[in-house]
Amino acid sequence: MCKHTVIELSVRNHPGVMSHICGLFARRAYNVEGIACMPVNGGGTSKIWLLVDADRRLDQMIKQVDKLQDVLDVERYDGGHEVFTKMSEFVQ
């Protein structure tokens, strides 16, 4: 089984952002296992957390995500993230 990692993105909040990000992963056949998204600062920006496989393409994926115009910041949590720990309770 693949080790998972979590990418946390700060993005501009508008209707096309999710499609840009998910499309990027889908086109490269890179599976996204989990997604969480919440608006911050009154909705001008959002935070998106992606739970993804930590395979050898991940560095390139992160560079590609970082290149998207609407992505303001990218952080990587190799040890996982609380968001998904809590969300996983809903699917137990």
Residues near other proteins (CB under 8 A): 15-16, 19-20, 23, 27, 59-60, 63-64, 66-67, 69
Smallest distance, other proteins to C-beta of residue 19, A:
6
* Terminal alpha carbon distance of the chain: 19
Smallest distance, other proteins to C-beta of residue 28, A:
11
Number of helical (H) and strand (E) elements in the chain, helices listed first: 3, 4
Give the burial string for 10-41 (b: 16+ CB within 10 Å, else e).
Answer: bbebeeebbeebeebbeeeebeeebbbbeeee
* Residue with Cβ nearer other proteins (68 or 87): 68
* Residue with Cβ nearer other proteins (22 or 87): 22
* Residue with Cβ nearer other proteins (3 or 56): 56
Smallest distance, other proteins to C-beta of residue 68, A:
8
